[in-house]
A and B are shown apart, each in its own frame.
Chain A
Amino acid sequence: MKDDSFLKITGLSKSFGGVEALSNVSFDLKQGESLGIIGPNGSGKTTLVNLITGFVKPDSGKVFFRGKEITGKRPYTIANLGIARTFQMAKAFHHLPAFKNIIIPLRSPRVKTFRGAQYGERDDIAIDLLEEVGFERDSAVPLKTAKSLPHGYLKRLELARCMALRADVIILDELFSGMSMSEVASTLPIIEKLKEEGKTVVMIEHRLRELFRVVNCLIVLNFGQKIAEGSPAEVMGSEAVKAAYLGSEE
């Protein structure tokens, strides 16, 4: 297992009852690369994220991170290794104030190893992180309970959780869906900045224009199978992709 691959999956498959949600999908990412995953609704994109991050166990196939197998490890173990994800349906702690939502990942073993160096008080770090994702610092917004926040804020709260973990791989599952145009415009630079910092970004996105500003390679899923892979330009020109998208999208 000696190669320079950073995040590598081989032959991942998963069925739910009779539905084959994902079949035999592989890819290989180097550190700092960014990957886009697209595909029609129900093509298995979220399932792929769940398999990588340990929320669902694969029927077959393997996941490697930094050369070590992490297949079937628990979600919190994988998060502590440095793979963080957002949820398509934002999962906030509705009864807690927004900034307290960020305290929870800040208590993880992973973040504890960073603390002491330059990390300060948890509350301050949380408010700083929320400011980075566009929660106005001096307003009441970071103090509001999560259930009273608009949907776009909840999605950005998801992003802030990944940033709190200081993850090396950040997987964004349709982060932009449910955000307003201006929210997308202000969130995109955050993702670009994460990339500049050397983070590996995996992005599932229906908004292709924004997606292509971030990613340099792309895979396309259809009915759980990988039907194309390559640079965005190559992939979007392929016949298989055109066929899959005709009639099934928009």
Chain B
Amino acid sequence: MAKIRREKKDSNGKYRKERLDRGIKARSDTIFALTSYREALYLVVPRAVTIIGLLILPLVLDIWWTKVMIMACVIAILALSWDFIASAGMLSLGQALFFGAGGYLAGVLNYYWGLSPLYTIPIATIAGATVCTLLFLPVLRLRGIYFAMVTFAMPLILVRIIEATRIWGGIEGLSALTPLPNLWVSAYLVIAAVFACLFGFRRLMDSDYGLVLRGMMDNDQAVMAGGINIYWYKAQTLFIGSAAGAFIGAFMTHYYRIVGTSAFSIDYSILPVACTVVGGPGNFAGAMFGAFILVPLCEYLRAIGSWRIVLYSFLMVIFVVAVPEGIFNYLERKYHQFEHWVKTG
């Protein structure tokens, strides 16, 4: 109440404080109707700052930090993929499977057939997504933690198979692969991919198609009662999500010029989840935001040696306890609460 009645007076008359988004919110909670350039600006500025900021980053950063930024983009894409799959009600702990599948496919195509990255990356994206979706088909019926456990185990099993059969270079992996032309190409390729995922997923979730996915998160049975084949939709969601993961795995193969069993490392499964939790799940911007906080932090802490993991984990706990809704969601809420003075009298 106190907030609403805040007023001030000066020679020109009475003023009171008003939230910036008042005009927009008052019309409807779900449907935006912009009436002034000011309101348009209010919505456009945060998006513009993100896009332009990220595009400028490779120009201003030194080589080391550019590499950190690339890593942040890589994890951001895995986090976006995780958030997308989660928004259809599937809890994946197996992002490493997508990453590794794309990575190995690109590596094999390049190493044994000599295909250039121009072909290996697109082929690995589609083929990797197909393989991952097929692997998950038998467990689509599982929900919650059961689904999560199976997805968590899958990349670990694949590592053991590669080690045991010594295929694809066994433990050493495939090396001396074709590199990407230069750091600029790599940087702008991942940035483009991050934007494609971020805006693509947001678009998709706002469509009627995304509505079905959000419905599955709420209640599988009600979706089925509505005549919708949930397994078909879940398979499609997995395909799209794992395509993003496989793409970035293939990218990393050429970026590092080597692919080994570390492509299935559980880091790639856990870190994206951590980023999404820290940034705030459910809106994709949070997942990306989380990656751009945690990854640079992690790299920066390398300097302090073995204490890194301790401090890193500690900071993560602080984030989660202090801002349980996610840092991005917190900032977004605060942004909408900005107030300005309007004349009343």
Give the size of the chain A interface in residues (CB under 8 angstroms): 34
Residues of A within 8 A of B60 (CB): none
Q: How far is the CB of B228 from chain A (nearest CB, A)?
A: 6
Q: Which of B3-11, B104-112, B170-178, B208-216 contacts A (4 or more CB under 8 A)?
A: B208-216
Would B227 and A91 count as touching, CB distance under 8 A?
no
The contact string, 1 if C-beta is below 8 Å from chain B, for chain A 46-84, is 000000010100000000000000000011110110001
On chain B, which size bracket covers the interface?
Answer: 20 to 34
Answer whether residue A93 sits at the interface, using C-beta atoms and an 8 A cutoff: yes
Q: Mark A72-102, 1 if CB is under 8 A from B, else 0.
A: 0011110110001101000111111100110
Nearest CB to that of B219 among chain A residues? A91
In the A-B complex, the 6 residue pairs with the closest CB atoms: A108-B227, A105-B226, A79-B227, A75-B224, A91-B222, A93-B218
User: Using a CB-CB cutoff of 8 Å, which residues 109-126 of chain A contact chain B?
Assistant: 109-111, 122
Chain B contacts of A79 at CB under 8 A? 224-227
Contact B228 A96 (CB under 8 A): no
Say yes or no for A104: interface residue by CB 8 A criterion: yes
Residues on B with beta carbons closer than 8 Å to the beta carbon of A199: none
| Cα(A101)–Cα(B222), bound, Å | 10
Question: In the complex the two chains form, is A104's CB within 8 Å of B211's CB?
Answer: yes
Does residue B28 face the partner (Cβ distance < 8 Å to A)?
A: yes
B97 at the interface (CB under 8 A from A): no
When A55-B221, A87-B221, A95-B217 are in contact, do A107 and B212 touch as well, CB less than 8 Å?
yes
Provide the residues of chain B in CB contact with A129, threshold 8 Å.
none
Q: Is the CB–CB distance between B28 and A76 below 8 Å?
A: no
User: Are B225 and A94 in contact, with the CB atoms below 8 A?
Assistant: no
* A95 in contact with B227 given A103-B208, A103-B211 (CB within 8 Å): no
A122 to B209, CA, bound (A): 12
Does B223 lie at the interface of the complex (its beta carbon under 8 Å from any beta carbon of A)?
yes
The chain A residue sitting closest to B222, CB to CB, is A91
Q: Which residues of A lie under 8 Å from residue B229 when comparing CB positions?
A: 74, 76-77
- Indicate if the CB atoms of A104 and B212 lie closer than 8 Å: yes
Of all chain B residues, the one with the shortest Cβ separation from A92 is B222
A143 within 8 A of B: yes
By a beta-carbon cutoff of 8 Å, the part of chain B in contact with chain A is 28-31, 208-209, 211-212, 214-215, 217-219, 221-230
Contacts of B230 in A (CB 8 A): 76
- Does A226 lie at the interface of the complex (its beta carbon under 8 Å from any beta carbon of B)? no
Q: Name the CB-closest residue of A to B230.
A: A76
Contacts between chains A and B (CB distance < 8 A), count: 88
A9 at the binding interface (Cβ < 8 Å): no
CB of A161 within 8 A of CB of B29, answer no
CA distance in complex: A95, B214 (Å): 8
Chain A residue numbers with a CB within 8 Å of B221 are 55, 75, 87, 91
Interface secondary structure of B, over-half rule: helix
Q: Which residues of A contact B228 (CB under 8 A)?
A: 76, 104-105, 107-108
Contact A80 B218 (CB under 8 A): no
6 contacts between A and B (CB under 8 A): A101-B215, A103-B211, A104-B223, A105-B226, A105-B227, A107-B228
Of B28, B217, B219, B229, most buried by chain A (CB within 10 Å of CB) is: B229
In angstroms, how far is the closest chain A Cβ from the Cβ of B223?
A: 6
Assuming the A-B contacts A103-B208, A143-B28, A143-B30, are A92 and B219 also in contact, with contact meaning beta carbons closer than 8 angstroms in the complex? yes
Q: Which residues of B contact A191 (CB under 8 A)?
A: none
Residues of B within 8 A of A111 (CB): 227
CB of A165 within 8 Å of the partner chain: yes
* CA A140 to CA B28, docked complex, whole Å: 8
A119 to chain B, nearest CB (A): 14
Given contacts A103-B208, A122-B208, A143-B30, contact A87 B225 (CB under 8 A): yes
Q: A99: nearest residue on chain B (CB-CB)?
A: B30
Which residues of chain B come closer than 8 Å to A53, judged between CB atoms? Answer: 225
Asked if A76 contacts B222 (CB within 8 A), the reply is: no
Whether B225 pairs with A97 at a CB distance below 8 angstroms is: no
Contact A161 B211 (CB under 8 A): no
Mask: chain A, 206-237; 1 = CB below 8 Å from B; 0 = not: 00000000000000000000000000000000
B226 nearest CB neighbor, chain A only: A105
The residue in chain A whose Cβ has the minimal distance to the Cβ of B224 is A75
Q: Are A97 and B30 in contact (CB under 8 A)?
A: yes
B101 to chain A: closest CB distance in Å? 29
Chain B residues near A74 (CB, 8 Å)?
224, 229
CB of B30 to closest CB in A, whole Å: 6
Given the complex, which residues of B lie within 8 Å of A97, measured CB to CB?
A: 30
Quick one: which of B31, B208, B225, B227 has the most chain A CB within 10 A? B227
With A93-B218, A143-B28 in contact, is A76–B224 under 8 Å at CB? yes
Contacts of A122 in B (CB 8 A): 208
Q: How far is the CB of B100 from chain A (nearest CB, A)?
A: 33
Q: Are A161 and B225 within 8 A (Cβ)? A: yes
Interface centre among B29, B211, B226 (most CB of A within 10 A): B226
Of all chain B residues, the one with the shortest Cβ separation from A94 is B218
The answer for the CA separation of A95 and B219 in the assembled complex, in Å, is: 10
Contacts of B30 in A (CB 8 A): 97, 143
Q: Which residues of A contact B214 (CB under 8 A)?
A: 93, 95-96
A143 and B211 in contact, given A92-B222, A104-B223 (Cβ under 8 angstroms): no
Q: A153 → chain B, closest Cβ, in Å?
A: 15
